[in-house]
Every structure is written in structure tokens, then in C-alpha cells.
Structure 1
């Protein structure tokens, strides 16, 4: 069932007539200014996956300006340290003293996810916001060392495990004035198809990279919806977010067919603009104490019209599927050998 919550739509007009990357649509830093949270979240802790590339770098850069302690994961620890040092230097030049830490984590390995969670818990006993940002896209068929198709494993299952391991810290950190949040970075790629329920690793039938990516991105939406259903009453909320069409490294290596065509070039965003919706979901005051919805263009998304052209905003009907969401959750627990929560 689609969500009943509707936000103010304060950013709808500015997104109605996009003019391409770098236009008047807000950046992540502009969101912080609008929310009046620069330097205001010094008592908060935020964990983000995939902070050393793509929009993850800009998300870390923006969230660090809130004063919160920001921890991000990187598969390549040296690269992560380089990103951290660059961001720290950037803010220090402006008189800001950011608190940023890096944890090594390879989402292709469930053992690595477990080690990363343990490392985080050594230094922190609370977590206010978890941003599941890292991802891979339209990759050739490959099973991870744990035996799962890699897009499903990286984009969904590893993040689901990370959430389960850090769930007690999220629940413990929630307060009446700042509920804990889990932000799952999804994609309009969910338009290409729903979750392959019961066939997550394409055990039956042939593999298709586009279908695998679409399924994994719908998983992100479903995880947020079910998480909200299970934990919203305990002060733990979740939203899924499509950051927008952005030419990051995730797409640069792919064929022309997955690159933006002329008719949607205007909708493309800069990396700074792409991070805006994710940052808004993580710290926006309007989204305090609510969740279970799919966001894009700095607002709650509406249903995609039946006659919509490729690239238009909106969610497909299968983005909200209570039975599918419940099944994915239970199947994920079983795959990870975890008890039902």
C-alpha cells in the first residue's frame, strides 16, 4: 500500500523544469542551510556505506558540516583515508572542524560486513542515522564468496546484515526529538522490474544484468517499507531515496544504452545535487518520526503515470508490496541465518 504521508513539496517547483547538472536545483549543502543544521548535530553519529566514491563523497562532505560524527565505509581503506583527509582540509579552510572516521568494508563479503560492524561498535554505543549508500550496477553475473548474485548481495543483503548488526544501537539512540533513521539509497532503476522473489540469485532462468539491478534496487525500497512497519513504533524509521540521474563512476563504464539520452539530459544532476535528496532524508526536520516511503527530487515521490516517458519521476506499483516486503525480509534473515526479529 502506498504511503499516506505527504510532505510540503517545498522543492517541487524547482525540480519541475530542470536545465541539467548544476542548475538551480539544490545541492546537499543548500539542504543543510535550509534545514539550519550546520554545526547543530554535534551529539549525533552517522554511518554511511560507500563514502569514498560517487555521491557518497558529497554525502560525507555535507553531513560532516552538521557537526555530527560521520563514519563511512570504504572497500579500499587507503582511498577512504584520502577522501577523509580531503574533506577535513576542505572544511578546516572554512573554520569547521569535522569529525570523520573510515572503516574498511567489502560488501561482497558478509564476513567483512560483520568485521566492520564490530569495529564500529568498539568506538560507538549509539547510531542515529545509517545511510546504506554503496552499490554496484548492471554487472556481469558473478556469485560472491557467500554464494549470492553480486548485485543482490552488495546492494541489498550486505546492507540488510549491517542494519541487523547495528539495530540495537539505532534503537538505543532514538529520542522523542530525533528518531533514528535508516536511509536506503535506491534508484529509478526499480522501474525496470520488481524483486525476483525466491529467485534472488537467478537460480532459475537466465541472468540479465538490468533485471538484476532493478531487482536489487526494488529490494532497497522494500527493505525500508518493511523496516518502517516493524520498527516505526519504536522510534526507528526508514526511507528509500533515488538520488537522481548522475554521471558517476557507477555508470561511466557501461554501454551507451544505459547513459542518458538527449531527451533526459536536462534531468541529470551534478554529484552535489544528487547527494541532496539523501542528505534531506537523513536530517530533514519534515521527515522526523515518519518513514516507509520512496523519495526523489528532495521530496516524497508520487506514482509514475501510466503514459510516463523514460526518465520521468515517480514510483512503479510494485514499489509498495506488503506481502513481497515481508517475504524479502524473512528470506533475507534465513539467508543470513538470523532469527526473525
Structure 2
């Protein structure tokens, strides 16, 4: 991983921070994102503290750590963040879509998107879309650029993708936080398979990983404290620790692409099949939803310049939607 530029969203706590530490130890340049700069600075210090005294003498301990502000639920923040990345980097090698929420009561983001979908799916789609040229410009013949999507086995609890109007709060629906989370995780799977097809022509891979039930994350922070307290003994018995939780993420970050399956879903460093919901119809529905939401933001957001909108249209032209398909050999009930 020496010299590779790795961007990790949601990297100030939990899996994101632990992954950042592991890849930093392996020599990668780590791009950390935060909404709270105080937490961001604390994360940088925590990652840098892994250096030995000798390493600290030989180099500036923070020269491989880069901290940026990013609110993944705010399109203006995403645009500003990506503009900053372009100023500071001319290439990226790995993007890890890690930031996420679970159990959130019904709420629309500042852009008017249901919060689970805004955080877990659309925000990461927008970041990767805008930064895609930096993945294409990789200068490492020994390493294939890649995107890693943090999913969840709970995607199996989603039986359909909701209508766009529901995700935008324009049509009422029987909202359930657990179901909304499952829908967003299904979205992660569908996005992975769609992008795998479209990125093949650019020699970029994408993988989805389900870390499993991991203790030490803040993913369930919206769950009532009493329920968390009652569940703690069970969590302590069956949950993975953070070291175990990031094993597959690190594996997908550093393993030669020849040993991995583009578009694959991984658990415990092994590929597994998607279920029957990951099919061509759902994939195309998800992609149409992402396009519609972004176009809607363009129409009603006065802060976006024509140049910023044009950047997206240029990148969309590079992604041939007709390539979106589905390998029937990669799915089946688990």
C-alpha cells in the first residue's frame, strides 16, 4: 500500500477510523473526512500516534494524513469537498464508502432525501461520480484502482426499492427505520453491480463488503439507550471486535485485483452470492433513482454553478448506462 492515496468516508470513529489506522500502518496516504473538525483532528492524532519515535524523527508524522470536512448528506458540501480534493491530488487509488447511519427516525436531508438513502447510498454515489477521473488517472501499474462499498447482510430484508417520490418525501409511505436501512443496504449492492459493469472499460474495480456484526462502532447510535443496554450482553458474546470487523475491508483494499471478483460481495474475505433482489430490473431502477435525485438537486439548488453541473454531465457521458446488466451466475439465496 506504500504511496497509495486512500479516501475513507466516516473515518473518525468505528470501522472507518480502524481501517484508516490499518492502511496507514501499511504505508498508504489516508484522506480522512469529518463533519466535526474537533473529532477529525482527534482522529488524525490517534492515527499518527501509531508511529514509532524513530519514524517521527525521520518524517512529519502527519504528512501522510489529510483531513477534509465533508457532510455526505449535503450536496453542496460534497461539491466543495471534491473541489478541494482536485486541488490537492491528481490521482486516487482507493475510495472506501464507509460513512453510514442506521435506525434513524424519518427525516429528509438538506437536499430533501430520506436520510438513510442520502447517507448510505446517494452521498457516496455523488462523491465517487465526481472523483471518478482521479481513479482513472492512477499511475500504479502494480495496483488496480478500486471502490469499496460497506454494505450489510441486512440488505436481504429489503424486498423492493421504494418509488423515487417516497425517497424524496413527496409521497407518504409506511416508514420503518429498520426497513429504510435495509433498503439503503440493498442500494449499496445494486450500485456495486451497476458500477462494476460500467467501470470495466476504465480498468477500475468495485467491491461490496458486509463486515458482519461488529462491536465498537457508532452505527446504532440512534437506537434507544435502554435497548442498547439490554442488548449489550448478546453483543459482547457474538459480535466481532474492530480488528475482525475490518479484516475484509483491508483485504479488499490491498489484494491484487486478479484474485478478486469485480462487483462481488465479500464476507470474511470470501465472495458470496447476492440474493434474488439483486437483479437487472432493480439495478436499473436504482440507477434511474440516483440520476433523478441528482437532476432534481440541480434544478432547485441555486448555489451550484453551471461548471459544477457540467462536470457531472461530462462524467456521466463516460459511464455507458447500456452496460448495466447482471451476471445471473452471481446471485442466489444465501
**TM-score for both structures, normalised by structure 1:** 0.78
Distance in 2 (alpha carbons) for counterparts of 1:93 and 1:295: 37
Shift in CA distance, 240/67, structure 1 to aligned 2, threshold 3 Å: same
Q: Give the conservation status (yes or no) of the 8 Å contact 2:11–2:20.
A: yes
User: Number of matched residues?
Assistant: 288
278, 281, 290: which one pairs with 1:332? 290
Q: Give the conservation status (yes or no) of the 8 Å contact 1:228–1:292.
A: yes
Q: Is 1:223 the counterpart of 2:191 in the alignment?
A: yes
Deviation at 1:317, TM superposition (A): 2.4
Unaligned runs of 5+ in 1: 1-40, 303-314
300, 315, 334: which one pairs with 2:271? 300
Partner of 1:59: 19
Q: Is 1:159 the counterpart of 2:124 in the alignment?
A: yes
Partner of 2:276: 317
Q: Is 1:181 the counterpart of 2:181 in the alignment?
A: no
Distance in 2 (alpha carbons) for counterparts of 1:78 and 1:195: 39
Partner of 1:102: 67
Deviation at 1:265, TM superposition (A): 6.0
Q: Which moved more, 1:320-329 or 1:154-163?
A: 320-329
Shift in CA distance, 59/296, structure 1 to aligned 2, threshold 3 Å: same
Deviations, residues 88-123 of structure 1 (Å, cap 9, x unaligned): 012235847561111111112111111111111111
Q: Which moved more, 1:331-340 or 1:84-93?
A: 331-340
Helix, strand or coil for the counterpart of 1:183?
Answer: strand
Shift in CA distance, 150/252, structure 1 to aligned 2, threshold 3 Å: closer
Partner of 1:307: none
Shift in CA distance, 165/286, structure 1 to aligned 2, threshold 3 Å: closer
**TM-score for both structures, normalised by structure 2:** 0.79
Helix, strand or coil for the counterpart of 1:78?
Answer: helix
Helix, strand or coil for the counterpart of 1:43?
Answer: coil
Q: Give the conservation status (yes or no) of the 8 Å contact 2:161–2:286.
A: no
The structure with the largest helix share of the pair is 2
Q: Give the conservation status (yes or no) of the 8 Å contact 1:117–1:162.
A: yes
Q: Which moved more, 1:258-267 or 1:201-210?
A: 258-267
Shift in CA distance, 171/141, structure 1 to aligned 2, threshold 3 Å: same
Deviation at 1:286, TM superposition (A): 5.7
Unaligned runs of 5+ in 2: 296-311, 320-334
Shift in CA distance, 194/170, structure 1 to aligned 2, threshold 3 Å: farther
RMSD: 2.4
Deviation at 1:267, TM superposition (A): 4.0
